[in-house]
Amino acid sequence: MFRWARRDLTGNFPGIAWWFAASLLALLVLAGFPAKTRAEPLLDRYLELAQPSELVPGADSYGPVRGDLPVAPALKDGKPVGWVFLTSDFVPTAGYSGKPIHILAGVSDEAVITGVRLVKHSEPIVLVGIPEARIREVTEKYAGLDLRKEASSEKEEHELDIVSGATVTIMIIDDSIVRAGIKVAKALSLGGLTPDTETVAARRSVDRGVDAVEDWQTLTGDGSVRHFTLDVETINADFAALGDPRAGAHTEPGPDSDAYIDVWTALVSQPAIGRSLLGDAEYANLKALLKDGDEAILVAGRGRWSFKGSGYVRGGIFDRIQVIQGDISHRFRDREHRRVARLAAAGAPDMTETDVFIIPQKAGFDAAASWRLQMLVQRPVGAIDKLFLNYDLGYDLPDRFLVAQEAPAVAAPAARPSAEESAVAIRDALWLRIWDAKRNEVVILGLGLAFLTGIFFFQTIATRNERVFNIIRTAFLVFTLVFIGWYANAQLSVVNVLAVFSALVSDFRWETFLMDPLIFVMWFAVAAALLFWARGAYCGWLCPFGALQELSNKIARLLRVPQVTLPWGLHERLWPVKYVIFLGLFGMSLYSLEMAEHYAEIEPFKTAIILKFDRPWPYVLFALAMLAPGLFIERFYCRYVCPLGGGLAIPARLHMFRWLKRYKECGNPCQVCAHDCPVQAIHPTGEINPNECISCLNCQVLYQHTAKCPVVVAKIKKRERFEKQNGLAPSGSGQPPVNYKPKANAPAASNL
């Protein structure tokens, strides 16, 4: 038994791999791809995750969920004292993960939020480092929010408590709670609010026939262009009013009368306003961009505060402004944005920022109704801490641009999509937007993968010159660490493996895995590489943490840090540890994926790569503890601990090709490659263990090295003796030796 197992590890008998593959196939067949079952009310599914008193103070139980509206009464001694709802039943807003953020909330008969509980989310920024307790703390602060004020056209009374690093996630949560709360309060007629009733005959629409060009004074005078300004003194006073003592130590410098916020906005999809502000050429370009039902607004500013900022460059979302209309809101993405060189209206002032933002038809925006531009202002008060304020700029299109809308013919009302259907539609649209925003990074990663593929396919040429190959490999490792890891955050994890398996046996959707383009491309590349080169293509070249280990070891060698080579017997008994860790996490994921994700912190990837060591000290200390042995034992973590490497090695047993060239003398008697292998993946008997090989191609450099490989050296010496005995020109010189006299009937050098 022991002998069979050992031979299997060296690549001769793929019994374990076939057994694992067959078992996995059987499990999938038994589990099946479950058919679409009848949709269970979302509130029913999550209601048990919060105690009644947490959502409605004093409540001791829940009543049955209403049949006409997904809300449940909160009962005290059998009598209703409030109502409980799930935000995603009313506002299926998708987060960065592409999945809804599920929040339970309670509301009183006076339309006041009484309690909030975050019950389910898949936000990656929280999963990779920001404490979830911090996010929960923010959501719980919505208790006491008066929905009557939020539903009015007045400025919102509440202020956002933004968590640094999760700005957009918090904004999505805020939007979900407020919008869903207003819908529930109106539907139940709480606090004097009434259900929305649409009187079609009284509605008005934008008159597109008015297109006369007018000057700046006329446009600002009748409200076609609205203005908001705030000086330095006021902004400092508003931050001081938040009650945080740190605000006073980070005030905006004077003069106090300087404009801090100085912003104008207008509806430029109305022809007269658009032509006046943009000019005929720019307006024609805008019309070509707008699809049926789309609208566009202009935002211009010249104060100290920028309404664009720089966050959209990284995340593709403008997180400082959003358009709010009733219970809908729209935050702009980079592809909905166009820069404008200058304002064309006569008499218009010079602006430091002038931009057009497109509101797509699916946002449900009504250009003829009142709306407001909400502006988020932040103030750093620490290394990573910030304070936030909201300001609103209201907008009503002047009456001269409106026309009464006639009542349409009576038609059957369109079926309203369910919350689940809306969430799916949002998710489907979201991954397409994310890919569009990340297209440059995808192209760069694709070029890197193509270059690496070329190295593997033409490895004989790539490894011919040791010095050149070392430069190429080091440069690629720097690319992997800096671009793939620290910039693009495309570090794969064993969590991805467990999540894929969980999706396969539950509710698989491609869109879920398409939400992160770079991770998806990396997994696709790894899947293909497993068939050709086993796990080495990823572990040896594309893993950012692996690159960090190897580069740090190179620096340690330059600093003459002594290197340790473990005895083969100890090394052979340590490498199964990573397989044990992987199987432990895999088994744990069958019981609870969340638990497996928690214990997957044995991977220091999040700390060292995703968050660049910006985590609490225990995580940083653990990551350094995993890196430190690598200064003495190259790729220590990869060899003995990494569960991802263990997980990739199992299916890699099925790889179809053997690319690494060997001589019959390798291992018997020659041990040069085995002694020089960076990860000791070559057995003393000469076999390369595909489970442990990282495809660094070091052995292929040695395979044709004219000074280090005994086999090559022996061939060269043999050829030189032959050439000398026969008076031939040395191979490769192109010139005969000194005193060269060819022998009669000597064979030509070209025929050797």
Give the H/E segment covering residue 529.
Answer: helix 517-533
Q: Is 40 in contact with 97 (CB distance < 8 Å)?
A: no
Q: Is 297 in contact with 356 (CB distance < 8 Å)?
A: yes
DSSP 47-79: GGGS-HHHHSTT--EE-PPPSSSSEEEEEETTE
**pLDDT for position 260:** 92
Rounded CA separation 171/168 (Å): 5
Contacts of the segment 325-328: beta carbons below 8 A, 24+ positions apart: 325/365, 325/366, 325/369, 325/370, 325/371, 325/372, 326/369, 327/91, 327/151, 327/178, 327/179, 327/182, 327/183, 328/179, 328/363, 328/364, 328/365
**pLDDT for position 18:** 41
Give the H/E segment covering residue 114.
Answer: strand 113-120
With H, G, I as helix, E, B as strand and everything else as coil, classify residue 683. coil
Rounded CA separation 295/268 (Å): 8
Residues in the chain, how many? 752
Which pair of structure tokens corresponds to residue 492? 């794969």
DSSP 123-181: -HHHHTTS-HHHHHHHHHTTTT-BHHHHHSSSPPS----PPTT-HHHHHHHHHHHHHHH
Report CA Rg, the chain.
33
Q: What is the pTM of this model?
A: 0.54
How wide is the angle at C-alpha 514 spanned by C-alphas 512 and 520, nearest 5°?
A: 120
CA 456 to mean position of chain CA atoms = 29
DSSP 446-478: HHHHHHHHHHHHTHHHHTSSHHHHHHHHHHHHH
**CA nearest 639: which of 542, 555, 687, 570?**
570
How wide is the angle at C-alpha 93 spanned by C-alphas 88 and 98, nearest 5°?
A: 110
CA 444 to mean position of chain CA atoms = 16
Core vs surface per residue 637-665: b (16+ CB within 10 A) or e: bbbbbbbbbbbbbbbbbebeeebbebeee
SS (H, E, C) 700-718: HHHHCCCCCCHHHHHHHHH
**pLDDT for position 517:** 82
What are the CA-CA distances from residue 475 to residues 21, 448, 481, 483, 633 (Å)? 37, 11, 10, 12, 22
**pLDDT for position 35:** 36
- What is the phi/psi pair of residue 65, to 5°? -65, 135
Q: Is 81 in contact with 60 (CB distance < 8 Å)?
A: no
The residues, ordered by sequence, that sit 6+ positions from 395 with a Cβ below 8 Å of its Cβ are 226, 265, 266, 267, 370, 371, 372, 373
**CA nearest 426: which of 200, 176, 196?**
176
Q: Pick out the chain residues at pLDDT < 50.
A: 1-39, 96-98, 124-129, 155, 164-166, 198-201, 409-423, 426, 733-752
Q: Give 267-301 pLDDT, tens digit per residue.
A: 999 999 999 999 999 999 999 999 888 999 999 99
Q: Is 694 in contact with 700 (CB distance < 8 Å)?
A: no
Rounded CA separation 749/752 (Å): 5
The residues, ordered by sequence, that sit 6+ positions from 743 with a Cβ below 8 Å of its Cβ are 726, 727
The residue written with tokens 């467990």 in the block is 498
Q: Is 387 in contact with 243 (CB distance < 8 Å)?
A: no
CA 322 to mean position of chain CA atoms = 22
For residue 255, cis peptide bond before it (omega within 30 degrees of 0) = yes
What are the CA-CA distances from residue 745 to residues 310, 506, 659 (Å)? 79, 78, 41
Around 629, how many Cα atoms within 13 Å sit in the side-chain half-sphere?
14
Rounded CA separation 284/279 (Å): 9
The residue written with tokens 């010189």 in the block is 733
